[in-house]
Amino acid sequence: MEFACRRCDQITKQKPYRVTTEDCGVVLLNMLVCPSCARLARRLGLESAKRAAKTKGVQATTDSKQQPVRPPPSIR
């Protein structure tokens, strides 16, 4: 399976890694990268994991459950 790394745009046949980061339950980063970029992400303290061999449709891009963004309460 070939894929293009979302960080360095290299095309590789190696297994992709998913790099994610969250803040207060809000997903800030969720991307598929090559093993080289995954190592860099780990050195920077970001979470990275090998992607499962088979994923379905939309779950391939959004594995984590995202919290809805709520506007701040209005002041009356």
The structure's pTM equals: 0.60
pLDDT over 80 at 6, yes or no: yes
Q: Is 64 helix (H, G, I), strand (E, B) or coil?
A: coil
Q: Which whole number is the average pLDDT over 1-13? A: 88
At 21-74, the pLDDT tens digits run 888 888 888 899 999 999 999 999 888 888 754 444 444 444 455 566 666 677
Quick one: pLDDT band at residue 1, thresholds 50, 70, 90? confident
Residue 6 has what DSSP assignment?
T
